[in-house]
Structure 1
Amino acid sequence: MSTLTTTPALDVANVTLELGDGDAKIRALDEVSLRVQRGEFVAIVGPSGSGKSSLLAVSGALAKPDSGTVRVQGTDLSTLSKGAAAAFRLRNIGFVFQSGNLLPSLSAADQLRLAARLAHTKNVDVNGLLDRVGMSHRAGNRPGQLSGGERQRVGIARALVNSPGLLLVDEPTAALDRKRSHEVVQLLAEQAREAGVGVVMVTHDHDVLEHCDRILEMIDGRLTAAEPVAA
């Protein structure tokens, strides 16, 4: 593993988040704490509705918790206005979605160029990023011309455009077969360790957990268990 910086990529402390109103209100996150260092790859597993997506939302400045603090690379997200949170997210956090979430009209290279413009990131080596994920030979292809695994690789490259300290990954293998699933998660692990990115991955796919540094389980809004990864 790469040398870790002293400031965590993510520091969630005693976070509570309630969703809904009245009798329909649920506690999606219940006093959750999680610290992820740069260069560390953490998997969050658990049943549907357990709070995994809510944890990604508060970690990515997409939702504000009702109590507790969330810090990304030392910045307390609760101190940011809505506009400042959006700007911080664009410049400091990368997101990888279930199916790549690519724009169908843009080539692989243009997906990255657009992300760079939105984040006001200059001098991005688009071809270099695509090469890092094994997709430089497909730079001119649109999503409809790519396989599911290739779309996910482009999505990972796009998430790295702003050189984030934190990468949040939501079910990246949901639409992939076993071989492609391992390839994508191994690629995420490599980016964590080689680029010094803290990675938090939500997944139902226990088959790929061997690539992670830590595995945490979420049940009813609480991180209740951890299991070591086999050497």
Structure 2
Amino acid sequence: MTTDTTPALEIVDATLELGDGDSRVRALDGVSLTVRPGELVAVVGPSGSGKSSLLAVAGALSQPDSGSVRVHGTDLSTLSKGAAARFRLATIGFVFQSGNLLPALSAADQVRLAGRLAGRRRVDPVPVLDAVGMAHRATHRPGHLSGGERQRVGIARALVNDPSLLLVDEPTAALDRRRSHEVVQVLADRARDADVAVVMVTHDHDVLGHCDRVLEMVDGTLTELAHAARGMDPAPPR
């Protein structure tokens, strides 16, 4: 484990309003969140509560109207759009609900492309695919992969540039119970083994036993529900 005490993610009193006129809503209302290297933090809450906005400001995709966001000590508000894009590629990994894989590319090529977009000339996809249990499927395209396998490839793609922060949006939404546990266990293992900070938005309460902390977002506010959940036995998949 790392001895670096710098938080991987530090959000302080962030507010964000979306929309115009009478439709304007406060998506984030004084949100504060600190995530350390090696932590897997789950954020639960109803649709429209602000979870996606939280990931957007954490990932330098949106700037809060007030408050601050730091990723490994870097104040995201100081970055230009170009610098923010480069910072995301080098420091932050994203895993999307649908996987967002390119249908014409094999699993290995999905990972290679992500590395090359970040400016890496040589990208070996095998180690990162192996880390998520997908090395044996490296030559397969998304159409020949199960939903759980596609999510694993999405995680591998997000990890190829060794991010210090991984932002995950509903990774189990289209998966059955067993595959949901498998995918979240991959995230928990990566957090622990590589000191990656993981923030996972989820509606799936069945997988929360894999997480270190669970927070709930309601109407733009964030409240911690549980601490040190990981280590408890999650419900066994059937």
**Normalization by structure 1: what TM-score?**
0.97
Which residue of structure 1 lines up, in the alignment, with residue 108 of structure 2? 109
Which residue of structure 2 lines up, in the alignment, with residue 9 of structure 1? 8
Of residues 53-62 and 112-121 in structure 1, the stretch that sits farther from structure 2 once superposed is 112-121
Q: Deviations over 1:179-214 (max 9, x none)?
A: 000000000000000011000000000000000000
Amino acid at match of 1:79: T
Structure 1 residue 227, shift from structure 2 partner: 1.8
Q: Deviations over 1:76-124 (max 9, x none)?
A: 0000011110111011100001121100000000001100010113443
Which residue of structure 2 lines up, in the alignment, with residue 50 of structure 1? 49
The 3-state SS of whatever aligns with 1:193 is: helix
| 2: CA distance, partners of 1:191 / 1:217 | 23
Which residue of structure 2 lines up, in the alignment, with residue 61 of structure 1? 60
- Segments of structure 2 that go 5 or more residues without pairing to the other structure are 233-238
| 2: CA distance, partners of 1:9 / 1:210 | 22
The 3-state SS of whatever aligns with 1:114 is: helix
- 8 A contact 1:4–1:37 mirrored in 2: no
- 8 A contact 1:5–1:37 mirrored in 2: no
Structure 1 residue 3, shift from structure 2 partner: 4.1
| 2: CA distance, partners of 1:21 / 1:121 | 41
The 3-state SS of whatever aligns with 1:44 is: strand
- 8 A contact 1:93–1:165 mirrored in 2: yes
The 3-state SS of whatever aligns with 1:47 is: coil
Which residue of structure 2 lines up, in the alignment, with residue 202 of structure 1? 201
Amino acid at match of 2:162: S
After superposition, the CA RMSD in angstroms is 1.1
- 8 A contact 1:44–1:218 mirrored in 2: yes
Count of aligned pairs between the two proteins: 230
Structure 1 residue 225, shift from structure 2 partner: 3.5
Structure 1 residue 4, shift from structure 2 partner: 5.2
Matched, 1:144 2:143: yes
| 1: CA distance, partners of 2:223 / 2:131 | 35
The 3-state SS of whatever aligns with 2:143 is: helix
- 8 A contact 2:112–2:124 mirrored in 1: no
Amino acid at match of 1:100: G
- 8 A contact 1:4–1:39 mirrored in 2: no
Q: Deviations over 1:115-170 (max 9, x none)?
A: 00101134433111111111111111000000000000000000001100000000
| 1: CA distance, partners of 2:54 / 2:131 | 28
- Segments of structure 1 that go 5 or more residues without pairing to the other structure are none
Amino acid at match of 1:180: R
| 2: CA distance, partners of 1:157 / 1:4 | 25
| 2: CA distance, partners of 1:77 / 1:63 | 10
Which residue of structure 2 lines up, in the alignment, with residue 219 of structure 1? 218
- 8 A contact 1:41–1:189 mirrored in 2: yes
| 2: CA distance, partners of 1:171 / 1:197 | 18
